[in-house]
Amino acid sequence: MSSPIIYWFRQDLRTSDLPGLLAAAATGRPVIACYILDEHSAGEHAPGGASRWWLHHSLEALAAELAQLGGALVLRRGAAPLELDRLIAETGADAVYCSRLYEPWANTLEEKLHAALDARGLSFRRYPGSLLFEPGTVMNQSGGPFKVFTPFWRHCRAGSPPATPRPRPADCVWFDGTLDGDSLASWGLLPTQPDWAQGWSSQWRPGSAGAYDRLQLFLAGPVEDYSEGRNHPARAATSRLSAHLHFGEISPRAVWHAAVGLAAREARSEQQVDKFLSEMGWREFSHHLLYHFPHIETQPFKPQFREFPWLGNEAALRAWQQGQTGYPIVDAGMRELWHTGYMHNRIRMVVASFLTKHLLVHWRAGAQWFWDTLVDADLANNSCGWQWVAGSGADASPYFRIFNPVTQGEKFDAQGSYVREWVPELALLPDRYLNRPWEAPPAVLEKAGVRLGENYPSPLVDHKAARESALAAYAAIRDADQRGNAPA
Asked if 8 is an active-site residue, the reply is no
Measure the CA–CA gap between 236 and 349, rounded to whole angstroms.
18
86 within 8 A of 77, measured Cβ to Cβ = no
Q: Choose the catalytic residue: 134, 174, 345, 410.
A: 345
SS3 (DSSP) at 133: coil
Q: What is the dihedral of CA 67, 7, 14, 187, to 10 degrees?
A: 80
Q: Choose the catalytic residue: 8, 105, 320, 363.
A: 363
The residues, ordered by sequence, that sit 6+ positions from 11 with a Cβ below 8 Å of its Cβ are 99, 101, 130, 246, 247, 248
Q: Choose the catalytic residue: 310, 410, 421, 438.
A: 310
- The pair phi, psi for residue 410, each rounded to 5°, is -70, -35
Q: How many CA atoms lie within 13 A of 277 on its CB side?
A: 24
Asked if 404 is an active-site residue, the reply is no
Q: Choose the catalytic residue: 53, 105, 282, 388.
A: 282
Asked if 381 is an active-site residue, the reply is no
Can the peptide bond before residue 437 be classed as cis, meaning omega within 30 degrees of 0?
Answer: no
Measure the CA–CA gap between 86 and 75, rounded to whole angstroms.
12
Measure the CA–CA gap between 240 and 223, rounded to whole angstroms.
11
Asked if 371 is an active-site residue, the reply is no
- The pair phi, psi for residue 6, each rounded to 5°, is -90, 120
Measure the CA–CA gap between 274 and 147, rounded to whole angstroms.
22
User: What's the DSSP call for residue 357?
Assistant: I
Element (H, E) at 454: none
User: What's the DSSP call for residue 74?
Assistant: E
Asked if 53 is an active-site residue, the reply is no
Measure the CA–CA gap between 404 and 19, rounded to whole angstroms.
46
Q: Choose the catalytic residue: 386, 388, 404, 435.
A: 386
SS3 (DSSP) at 229: helix
SS3 (DSSP) at 477: helix
Listed residue (486, 466, 260, 274) closest to 356, CA to CA:
466
**Helices within 70-179 (DSSP H only):** 80-91, 104-119, 149-158
Asked if 90 is an active-site residue, the reply is no
Measure the CA–CA gap between 458 and 438, rounded to whole angstroms.
7
Q: Do the strands 73-77 and 95-99 form a parallel or antiparallel pair, or are they unpaired?
A: unpaired
Measure the CA–CA gap between 412 and 18, rounded to whole angstroms.
39
Measure the CA–CA gap between 57 and 52, rounded to whole angstroms.
9
Q: Choose the catalytic residue: 60, 224, 266, 279.
A: 279
Q: Which residues participate in catalysis according to the annotation?
A: 279, 282, 310, 345, 363, 386
